[in-house]
Structure 1
């Protein structure tokens, strides 16, 4: 294994045999202060060959400045091969970066809490057998925020935005994920946390977007295309809203959800479930739900009930019965 260190980078290449420690051997001379440095005192298992190729980390290790940029360069990889020749490989197919920004210039070791920080990992690929996972992006942004607890004002680095994009595949099955969480609070102001809980002027103001799609087998013999699109928002102290669009093969449902009483110990979740054919179900409180009408326009075409076994059952006006859940 070769490790080359310069003022601004570390480069690793080569191969090394590795194994996991499993236990101590008998008859160790515990009085010898160097016992921990003798590999003959340990039992190892799961031996593997680790090959590192062109893994490069760039960092201003000795610079005196107010901003520091880090990078894992495109082109590096780590591959392991176990005793039965099974391989797993982790590759960097794009530059991944991180950044720290401080109020004043100094060496990194002497800096305290940065004003801003960011991380962006991209093009990460994991392969093992028939499984392939790609992280197109894992990124985060953070800001230094001031909090007043009623006694003193403290500074802390708070994540303000998180993004995740990736995909995983196995044979003919696949799953794609895109997610984003963003805080919309005004972090230029001192946040009063002296009450020990959220208040009407200091609460989490956020949006969340999640999209899942792909082809999964489930109980089916062949993979079935599906997508789930979630958009959630909280901009009020007592209420949050969300919309959910679900498509499985050619079947589609739209959900409109509202959570009330976020300032209380017991919240109320209500919703409207809509089908593309015009049918809809209104539920005033999902936690206490027992029954609701299935409507198309102003006409009722049936009733959804929840029985004592926890099953959701739809009985239509023509006496047709459908079990929504087992």
Structure 2
């Protein structure tokens, strides 16, 4: 800042976040960024401007973001455009969106000519959507996505394209995995650690029951990380967009429910030998024979069993 002649400069630094500070010089404010890469400085500065715009919308709607509901709104226009391109939202496509917020992604998909049905839990946001996006063609369902029968919204094929709320994302995905009509494809934003669990491979820390349940039905591909600066309010963790593309010959809903029962039991005590958890399910007399048939060692833990081996165990369980 340029100092007037004869004027004494007085600086006051207010720490806002670890990455940057608010610098006050003679009552004038400016931002002093810490040791950040240039691209991240630009992203932080841009996010401050977009946060101000989002605050205006929130104030007009009478909404304060609810952390318990996992309300973190994606405000990066370039990232939103990329999601629409990557997801293939197009005329004739049936799109399910869970947690639309103030419709930043929704409006883009409607503009592409897609049919969009959004499920929103927050009544105040639902009212805003009715006034602003339903006249543009949005089909709105007000309710808890963890309880709504999402697979019955569309009678045929559909995609789920969503920035899922942190608080409900895992439950929404898990419910669809066992449903009679799961989406043909999902392009969804989740907390990074959750997204990586969906695509995790055997023998890794992230591999678990949800990994198996997803991969028996979908090909899971993490696509892109979204840093906290892209959201308002800013979350404490990174997010990740992941694509789940349904396999050519998906197993039936009944089969998937049996597999879910099996893997939940197998991973119930993941640090212990899996045979102890499965003995009650298959019977003490048959378990050794079944292990030999599938090619499993008796001391193996669930985290090292492949998806194909879990499918073989499910086949035996169904008989």
Please state which band the TM-score falls in when normalised by the shorter chain: under 0.3
Structure exhibiting the larger radius of gyration computed from Cα positions? 1
* Structure number with higher helix proportion: 2
* Structure number with higher strand proportion: 1
Relative to the length of structure 1, the TM-score reads 0.23
**Higher RCO (C-alpha 8 Å, min separation 6):** 2
Relative to the length of structure 2, the TM-score reads 0.23
